[in-house]
Chains A and B, each alone.
Chain A
Amino acid sequence: MSESNGFEPRIVAYVCNWCTYLGADLAGTNRLEYPPNIRIIRLPCTGRIDFNLIVKAFEMGADSVLVSGCHPGDCHYTAGNYHARRRWMLFRDLLDAMGIDLRRIHFTWISAAEGKKFQRVVTEITEQTRALGPYEDYRKVVEGGAC
């Protein structure tokens, strides 16, 4: 817990069921500690992740978003993560052009065996977000009210 200003980052993670979710589970069974700031949302595959979900997370007050799935070549549905990767390549440029902070959106490949990687990534992202502070910009858009 931070004693300086009490800001606890809220991180939303969209993870695929077959790799990253099991990786997170492995971190748990191995008693690997990671910050509790993360809220995990399980989806069948990264290919199912609509880019709107990332926007929605920010709308709902997330300070950072993590999207994680199987390594290329290991997708449970063969190619879901390839499609996702392609979408992310384009979507990042759109978000950047809109002025949305790309430092708050993270993409990783974490397999079911990589409990340690999950611990490391979540810890890194939490600390990075803590340093960046709360994500006010998009919240101001959301609370903008009538134009």
Chain B
Amino acid sequence: MLEELRQTCRALLADGKADVVIGYAQDDPAMPAYPVFVTRPEDADRLVWNEMCLPNLVAYLTRPEIKALGKPAVVVKGCDERALVVLAREGQVDRGEMVAIGVACDGVGKPREAKCSICDVHQPRYADVVMGQAKNEPVDAAARYAEVEEFLKKTPVERMAFWREELSRCVKCYACRQVCPLCYCTRCIADKNQPQCIDTSATLKGNFAWHLTRAFHLAGRCAGCDECTRACPVGINLRLLNLTLARSAEAQFGYRSGMDPEAKPVVGSYSLQDKEEFIR
């Protein structure tokens, strides 16, 4: 599969079908693979594919420095591809002006990432070309949100105590925002200071405000790639926060982001039948 991947990328670059291939390279098999931007066909040999290929390369498609390199071809795992579907739906990438190279994936990370045990997109579904074969077994919602269900067994007081402890470690490095493929706003609300909607200070007030905002701005959009959780230098369980809203979107609207390119996004559309039992 690796040789097929390299050959595909070599050909894309040689034929001018892509100006840059965004893929993975690796210096040491024991170390995580890292993103690489290959512009010459002969450099396609730098590309690797293995279970240490963690970063979500779709995040680069909205960065100006990368867009300046020209028409991109990007290597995507199933989870990464979900983010690509959302980006296309939101008009941030033109699917016709890029090539998505899907790679069948059995799970990444050593130890294996938590997201992999509930994955139902091992085989990318919307890429332009797919390397390898994997099976997409459906995962039922109870398994998908087991972590959230478990968490919700805590009382509200316990929940707040949990988040107070988790968010007290936040240093406001914004790694979560920067690695997220869907945090592409050129001017984030957290960077606005007239008025200051979200305190930049790493106080509980500022940290709660930031994480509530980021989680909600991803409501119904988060693709579940968990890069934010991996990138957090202090180990905050952002996955739990994102899963909470994903569960809400699926339970209330039957919606999972990035699964169907034609589906209407949850926030930004509405239905006359939306339930309002909580509204007097």
Which A residues are within 8 Å of any B CB, using their own CB?
Answer: 51-52, 55-56, 59, 72, 79, 82-83, 85-101, 106-109, 121, 137, 141-147
Contacts and interface: CB of A to CB of B under 8 A. Distances in A.
A82 B270 contact: yes
Interface residues of B, number: 53
Given A55-B212, A147-B168, A99 B274 contact: no
Interface string B215-256: 110011000000000000000000011001101110010000
Contact of A55 (B161, B167, B209, B271): B209
22 contacts: A51-B212, A51-B216, A56-B197, A82-B270, A83-B267, A86-B269, A89-B252, A91-B219, A92-B278, A93-B244, A93-B247, A94-B212, A94-B219, A94-B245, A97-B151, A97-B241, A99-B158, A99-B163, A107-B279, A137-B157, A142-B204, A145-B203
B267 A90 contact: yes
Nearest to B244: A97
B146 to A, nearest CB: 15
B203 to A, nearest CB: 6
Contacts of A141: 160, 164, 204-205, 208
A43 to B, nearest CB: 15
Contact of B215 (A86, A89, A94, A145): A94
Given A89-B274, A98-B163, A107 B170 contact: no
B157 A90 contact: no
Nearest to A144: B204
B245 A85 contact: no
Contacts of B203: 144-147
B212 A109 contact: no
Contacts of A56: 197
Interface string B175-216: 000000000000000000000011001111101110011011
Nearest to B213: A52
Contacts, number: 131
A142 B205 contact: yes
A43 B213 CA distance: 21
B125 interface: no
Interface of B: 148, 151-152, 156-164, 167-170, 197-198, 201-205, 207-209, 212-213, 215-216, 219-220, 240-241, 244-245, 247-249, 252, 266-272, 274-276, 278-280
Contacts of B270: 79, 82-83, 85-86
Nearest to A142: B205
B277 to A, nearest CB: 10
A45 to B, nearest CB: 14
Nearest to A97: B244
A101 B157 CA distance: 9
A101 B252 CA distance: 21
Contacts of A106: 280
A147 B236 CA distance: 14
Nearest to A125: B280
A93 B252 CA distance: 10
Given A100-B156, A106-B280, 18 more contacts: A52-B198, A90-B216, A91-B216, A93-B244, A94-B241, A97-B151, A98-B159, A98-B163, A98-B212, A99-B159, A109-B279, A109-B280, A137-B157, A137-B160, A141-B204, A142-B204, A146-B202, A147-B203
Contacts of B168: 144, 147
Contact of A52 (B205, B209, B244, B249): B209
Contacts of B159: 97-99
A106 B279 CA distance: 7
Nearest to A145: B203
Contacts of A86: 266-267, 269-271, 274
A37 B132 CA distance: 65
Contacts of B198: 52
A109 B266 CA distance: 22
B204 A94 contact: no
Contacts of B280: 106-109, 121
